[in-house]
Structure 1
Amino acid sequence: MASIHLTKLITPLLIAMSGTVAAAAGNVLLTAEQRHMALCVQTIAHDYFSHGRSTVVSMPQGLRNNSRRPLIHFPYTDDLQLVDLVLQHVNDDTCCPLQMLPAETELNTVAEINHSYIIFIWREQGDEDIIAILDSQLRVLKDSEALQWNPRGRFLVVVTDEDSSSIPSVALKIYEIMWTEYNIVDSIVLNPDSSGNRTVLNLYTGFPYQKENCKNVKEVTLLDQWVLENNGKFSNKSNLFPSKIPNNFHNCAIKVATIGFHPFVSLINKDMTEDGSTVYEVRGVTLEYFLLSMKKMNMTVLFLPPSLDVSSESAMAEAIKLSTGMADVVVGIIPLSPVFFSGLTEPSIPYISDAFKWFVPCPRPISRIEKIVNVFDASIWLMMITVFILTSALFWCLANYPDRMVEKESKNMQTIQKSTYSVWTIFIGVSVPEMPRTWNLRIFFLIYVCYCFAMSTVFQAFFVSYLIEPGYEKKIETFQELLDSNVNYGYNSVLEFGMQTMDFRDHLKFPPTRRINCADLKTCIMRMMSHGDVATISAPGYAKYLANELGHHGEMKSPCSLDENFIYGSLVALFTNGNPLLKRLNTLIRRCLEGRLVERYWAQLNHEALLKSNTTYDQEGSSMYFVFTLSHMRPVFSVLAFGYVCSTIAYLAECLHKRFSK
């Protein structure tokens, strides 16, 4: 019984002592190859990883909970000791903070994007697929990091298992899965190799676009070797993270999906090839930046069937093409808005930016006759008529007033008809048959002549100016004036969906009875310019292009808008997250913007649209200069005709009165 109790006491003691020795002597019992592997990783992290930025460290998922490992084992057989040594070296070097990422770990999504990764992979069992282990770790990294996941970061994959017969092939498979499945291009594979006279650590990488590979990595390149001598060193001291994106892509193909309407996206031609496939030729304002960049990169653009409208169905169809790999990029009317992006996609820099405005009907020209009638207000016309009647009465009274000191007044002023006639002749600037004789009548006569001269001068000045340019109705200048008018609001469902994520609510102030669905923005803007019963939100460039298509020329015939800007919008190209072409494309887009190359194309489109339209410059009001014709004298002849009619009526009335008076 005593021996049994002694055995129960000794067994836990031996286990505790073994664990303590193993924990204390871990670093001492590591092999030289493992220590040099830790030094190599430390050197790469110090020389190539961003200092001050977090480095994520990942290892196989189920190691810590593997119950099949013996409780007592030598530390050099456990790859965890290697990971601990690497963490210790990198932490002591203080080059970059470390983040351990075991399975099912959620990182803080508000933190900055990570720029470097160290991934350890090994087989827990002899028959395990090391590529499947790597795929599982990468998937955990991508899912748990969320917005912190950065496929453009620098990845170091450390393979601790050694298989001398398949080192290059394993490195090729590792690089291939990281490139094709996760868009990771800057990755190197660290693998021990003892096939030669000495053990070295090989560092491999791939070049997707080298030697006309066109994304298909057929072989990996041995960048350098870590020599296990003293503290270790790189044999060639090569750049371990060279640029993988060349300037010349040797006509490699890029599949492009497009969405938009003319003139932003236009289907120019569609041909059938000998093998039965369809080749699309697509152009447009939103595509010019991309096409110029692809021409500079020497890439062949293969267009997929374009979506020539902007709707939720079209947007969903193009998004599926991008997510499934059918398309490498989507170009067209893609606004820079969080609504249209997800963690799987990434936009380019904005290449078209504009301020959206409220476009309202332009004021219509005022009729010349109406404008001439409105030279004076109604109160002034009434006052002039009153002065005319009172002056006629005053002249008649003064002509018939007895004055013994002077001779009798002329007979032209003694009857009410002749007095009125004299007042009218003075009013229109014609001389009277005979001057008044009495001094009091002459004084009032002079006052009335001065009054008529002043009013006639003012009237003639306005008459000539309005005859040449009658002017326009009052323009709608503020949003409140638009609300107070009877103009309807033409809304676009896609644009309103985008505005839901922004702090814009003015368009919701229109009552439902004044909202018109403008699914086709072109039809809506043309209706606004032709009928003037609808207002809508659009980019000024597009509205101007439609005006050129309709042949509207001149300041007041161009699309009219409110002075204030409604919202600001930008268009971008959409790539899958981590696409290595994005950085090069952004650089070329900036150069195109600086050179204003696409503005030349846009101006050419507007000029061609204006030439193709039936614009005529001899129409009335189409220009500030016009030929003065008889049509412009219509108000004068109208007054003359009215006078003739009145004279004829007066003549007939006198004839009838004379006949019946007998």
Structure 2
Amino acid sequence: MLKTVEPHLQIQLLKTVTDRVESRLHTHILKCITTISDRYFEAGSTVVISLPSDSDFLRIEPPRETPHSEQITSHDLHFQNIKTYEATFLLRHLHGTLKWLVVTSQGSAAQHHHYKWHNYILWASDTVRKQLEFLKSFGQAWDPRGRFIVVLNKISTNPRQQARVVLKELKEAKILNVIILVPASREDHKIDIYSWFPYKSPTGKCGQIRTAILVDQWIIHKSGYFTRNASLFPIKVPRDLGKCPLTVSTFSFPPFTILGNQNSTYEGGFEIRLVEFIARTMNMSIVYIAPSSKLWGQKLENGSWTGIDSDLMLNRADVGLAGSILVQEEATHLDFTVNHGSLGFKWVVPCAKPFPRWKSITRVYSLAAWISIIITIFFAAIVFMCLARYGDQELAFYKTLTGCVLCSWAVMLGVSAGSAPVSGYMRSFFIFWVWYSLAINTLFQIFVTSYLVDPGFTKQIQSVQDVLESGVQHGFHPDLNDSLSDESDELLTKIVQHSEPCNDVEACVQRVAQRGDFVTISNHMRIEYLNTYKTLDNNGKSLVCTFGDNVIQNFKTFYLPQGSPLLYHFNRAIRVAVQAGLVDYWSESELVASRIKAASIRKISPLDDYTVFILTYLQSAFYLLFLGYGLASLVFVVELFCYNTFSHSKSRNLNLNRRLRQASCRSF
């Protein structure tokens, strides 16, 4: 005879059975997580456990004490604190094995973590968006390329669609290496494990998610096991990406990037060749875009960025390049590849310009020497006059100061004097004066001739002290300020304090070359390239020069969005190109091509030192000739004026005297 059971006892019995099934499910979820952790989390690394804010996980505490009348069995107490038990069991297992450093999401984002967290366990209901935002706030510790286990503790009627929604949220955070544990229905006794492959059909295409794929299942039977034992964290980004687009944000910055005839294509530049090599290695097609403004980019007061940095942070581009170097501020917000070579920065100054040829005569002797020669001429004239007046035999020409000055001046200029001296004293001093004048004239003619042919150059800036003393303006790109901050160097500190911001590097270098009134700092590869073609004069000589050793030593790199899944393949291709010598070959090829272009404007000098003496070299002599003619004409006009004035004055005086005599005669 069967015994009937009251309805309320039936409901209680059904609830007890359901709780037992749920408890068994959660126990196997924990076993599945711990099994995956043991297999795929590297020993000694960090495991981050993130719990949703609306869950009882955040209140991990022992069960409250109850009076004896309300006490229940330990089994029923276990069911009342299932979530607390799960968290406690998971933390106890992960930390108790002493294999990993365990971090919970209850930590503070204000703490400083100087190492990456590579393993993550996220326990969620249906979304992980808030948990991801909180984990990102840990800054450098956050690693979207780590391994993620996401547990959805709600049983869904469509687990694949539920997994796809969460995968889409993870994809926005650039998380690809992830598996999602979704409990199947209570009747199936299994846990589905979903993932996706962003570049492999049918789950994804070119990084865009299409659907979630079932990679394995955990069977809830006894201690539990996997049905396939498949690799849960395989390589998600293959080497062959099937011609997916690679968006490159760059601008023309020779020799790194050289724009072609069309504004959207690039015909050269060794970094363009390098990124093309990377694209061929990964089987991707390149799409170039130009940054909106500010070239490399700057951080604005509102926290936003401009230029290439903006394109990368807003995910408009996959990679940014244009002679980029490692900068601390950009490196904290973006990912960067391994370097493909060092890059030194030097002072860029205008090259010394030739002296004007008309200054060749004045440059023979210094101002003090010219004054000494003039004083010597007058001193010789005084000696001539004294010797002439000492005796009675000398000509009257030498007894006047004017005659002696004309004589000494004529001998100094190498022309004949008015008359030869007669007395012995005069002739002896005259011969000494001729010898002195001959020596002065010989030196003058030698140097004048050499200066006329090769006038020489003005003083070249060769040190930081020369930059300050020259008085020219100076400036450089703001990204170099941190590298130039050296309080121990007083001269460099003065340079930085009085420098101008040079955001347009191209315009600053052109100002140095064309106007010669500016000094800047630029990388040596760019200056070497410009000196082969663009910054040459009509004779093929460089207009910009450098001095000293490198002021800054840095490394060339490419920037990618933070968490980019392409970083590993970029680094691999760059290492291959560097070790094969391709990067050096491409950079040297650009210099060779530029030298070939420069051959059309460069004049080839003859093999010997022979120089044709042309009329242009005598411009200073003609300037002096015309100046002499002008002065002579002016003196002649003044003499005529004085003569006419004196003649009229004399005639008036004669007429006045005549009238006075006539008047006196009449009075008598």
The TM-score, its normalising length taken from structure 2, stands at 0.67
- Asked if 1:290 is matched to 2:281, the reply is no
* CA spacing shift, 1:479–1:630, aligned 2, 3 Å: same
Match of 2:45 in 1: 53
Contact 1:479 / 1:562 at 8 angstroms: preserved in 2?
Answer: no
Offset at residue 582 of structure 1 (A) = 1.9
Residue 363 of structure 1 aligns to a residue whose secondary structure is coil
C-alpha distance after superposition, 1:109-151 (max 9, x if no partner) = 3342211112234xxxxxxxx432x4443344334x3432211
Residue of structure 2 equivalent to 1:3: none
Task: Quote the Cα distance in structure 2 between the aligned partners of 1:210 and 1:533.
Answer: 58
1:602-641 CA deviation, whole Å, 9 max, x = no partner?
A: 42674476468xx36389xxx9985432433455677889
Q: How does 1:305-454 map to 2 (within 5 A)?
A: 306-307=291-292, 310=295, 316=306, 322-332=312-322, 336-340=326-330, 343=333, 345-349=334-338, 354-356=343-345, 359-387=348-376, 451=436
Are the counterparts in 2 of residues 223 and 240 from structure 1 also a CA contact under 8 Å?
A: yes
Counterpart of 2:172, as a letter, is E
Q: Which amino acid aligns with 1:371?
A: S
| Alignment partners' CA distance in 2, 1:410 and 1:270 | 88
2:564 paired residue among 576, 579, 601: 579
**How far apart, in 2, do the equivalents of 1:636 and 1:569 lie?**
53
2:114 pairs with 1:114: no
Q: Which amino acid aligns with 1:206?
A: W
Distance 1:62 1:643 in 2: 100
Report the residue type matching 1:245 in the other structure.
V
Residues 190, 218 of structure 2: 8 Å contact kept: yes
| CA distance in 2: counterparts of 1:139 and 1:418, whole angstroms | 101
Paired residue type of 2:354: P
Matched residues in 2 for 1:638 and 1:141: separation?
80
Work out whether 1:599 is the aligned partner of 2:587: yes
- Which residue of structure 1 lines up, in the alignment, with residue 78 of structure 2? 75
Separation of aligned partners in 2, 1:479 and 1:232: 74
2:543 maps to 1:558: yes
What does residue 90 of structure 1 align with?
94
Secondary structure in structure 2 of the residue aligned to 1:137: helix
Change (3 A) 1:184 1:384: same
Query: Do the aligned partners of 2:529 and 2:591 also contact (CA within 8 Å) in 1?
Result: no
User: 1:183: how far off?
Assistant: 0.9
1: distance between equivalents of 2:611 and 2:293? 42
Q: Residues 90 and 373 (structure 1 numbering): CA distance in 2 closer, same or farther, change over 3 Å? A: same
Contact 2:312 2:561 in 1 (8 A): yes
Quick one: structure 1 residues 293 and 86, their matched pair in 2 at CA, closer, same or farther if it must change by over 3 Å? same
Task: Write the letter of the residue equivalent to 2:574.
Answer: I
| Residue 97 (structure 1) shift | 1.2
Q: 1:529-564 CA distances to partner (integer Å, 9 max, x unpaired)?
A: 334344455555556666633642679742145647
Figure out how many residues of one structure are paired with residues of the other and give that number: 588
Contact 2:364/2:448, CA 8 A, preserved across alignment: yes
Corresponding residue of 1:131 = 126
Q: Distance in 2 between matches of 1:569 and 1:136?
A: 38
Query: Partner amino acid for 1:207?
Result: F
Q: What is residue 189 of structure 1 aligned with on the other side?
A: 180
Q: 2:285 aligns with which of 300, 322, 325?
A: 300
Report the identity percentage.
25
Q: Which runs of 5+ in 2 are unaligned?
A: 1-19, 67-71, 487-492, 640-668
Match of 1:205 in 2: 195
Normalising by the residue count of structure 1, what TM-score does the alignment of the two structures yield?
A: 0.68
CA distance in 2, matches of 1:638, 1:321: 61
* 2:56–2:83 CA contact under 8 A, matched in 1: no
Q: Aligned residue for 1:23? A: none
Rounded to whole Å, the distance in 1 between the matches of 2:34 and 2:446 is: 91
1:185 aligned partner, one-letter code: L
Q: Is the 8 A contact 2:318 2:561 kept in 1?
A: yes
- Residue 213 of structure 1, CA deviation: 2.8
Deviations 1:5-33 (A, max 9, x none): xxxxxxxxxxxxxxxxxxxxxxx999777
Q: What is aligned with 1:244? A: 236
Residues 259, 308 of structure 1: 8 Å contact kept: no
Q: 1:375 to 1:412 in 2, by over 3 A?
A: same
Letter in 2 for 1:378: L
Does residue 520 of structure 2 align to residue 530 of structure 1?
Answer: no
Q: Report if aligned partners of 2:149, 2:180 keep a CA contact under 8 Å in 1.
A: yes
- Alignment match, 2:141: 148
Cα distance, 1:472 vs. partner?
1.8
- Which residue pairs with 2:653 in the alignment? none
**Change over 3 Å in CA distance of 1:192–1:425 after alignment to 2:** same
Q: Secondary structure at the match of 1:289?
A: helix
SS in 2 for 1:372: coil
Q: 2 CA distance for matches of 1:252 and 1:324?
A: 19
Pair 482,400 (structure 1): closer, same or farther in 2 beyond 3 Å:
same
Q: Is the 8 A contact 2:198 2:207 kept in 1?
A: yes
Structure 1 residues not aligned, in runs of 5+? 1-27, 122-129, 272-279, 654-662
Contact 2:311–2:317 (8 Å) recurs in 1: yes
CA contact (8 A) 2:122 2:149 kept: yes
Q: Using a 3 Å threshold, how does the CA distance of structure 1 residues 645 and 611 change in structure 2: closer, same or farther?
A: closer
Mapped contact 1:259–1:318 kept (Cα < 8 A): no
Residues 250 and 568 from structure 1, CA distance in 2 versus in 1: closer, same or farther, beyond 3 angstroms?
Answer: same
Residues 618 and 424 of structure 1: is their aligned pair in 2 closer, same or farther, counting only changes over 3 Å? farther
Q: What's the secondary structure of 1:599's corresponding residue?
A: helix
CA distance in 2, matches of 1:519, 1:106: 35
Distance in 2, Cα, partners of 1:168 & 1:33: 19
Tell me the CA shift for residue 462 of structure 1.
Answer: 3.1
Deviations 1:566-611 (A, max 9, x none): 6667675443321111222233334445532541464267447646
What displacement does 1:184 show? 1.0
Instruction: Work out the CA distance in 2 between the residues paired with 1:110 and 1:308.
Output: 34
Give the C-alpha shift of residue 383 in structure 1: 3.6
- Alpha-carbon shift at residue 94 of structure 1 (Å): 1.0
Letter in 1 for 2:199: Y
- 2:148–2:177 Cα contact (<8 Å) kept: yes
- Name the stretch that deviates more: 351-360 or 210-219: 351-360
**Relative to 1, partners in 2 of residues 1:608 and 1:185: Cα closer, same or farther, differing over 3 Å?**
farther
Distance in 2 of aligned mates of 1:471 and 1:457: 20
Relative to structure 1, the CA distance from residue 302 to residue 432 in structure 2 (aligned partners, 3 Å threshold; closer, same or farther) is closer
Match of 2:173, as an amino acid? Y
Whole-angstrom distance in 1 between the partners of 2:366 and 2:260: 58
Note the aligned Cα RMSD (angstroms): 5.6
Deviations 1:135-184 (A, max 9, x none): 443344334x3432211111123455667x85555555544442x22211
Distance of 1:574 and 1:500 partners within structure 2: 19
Quick one: structure 1 residues 544 and 247, their matched pair in 2 at CA, closer, same or farther if it must change by over 3 Å? same
Cα drift, residue 46 of structure 1 = 3.7
Write the distance in 2 (CA, Å) between the matches of 1:510 and 1:351. 34
2:54 is aligned with 1:62: yes
* Cα distance, 1:60–1:410 mapped onto 2, change above 3 Å: closer
Partner Cα separation in structure 2 for residue 646 and residue 191 of structure 1: 105
2:279 aligned partner, one-letter code: M
- Give 3-state SS (helix, strand or coil) of 2:459's partner: coil
- 1:522 and 1:609, CA in 2 relative to 1: closer, same or farther beyond 3 A? farther
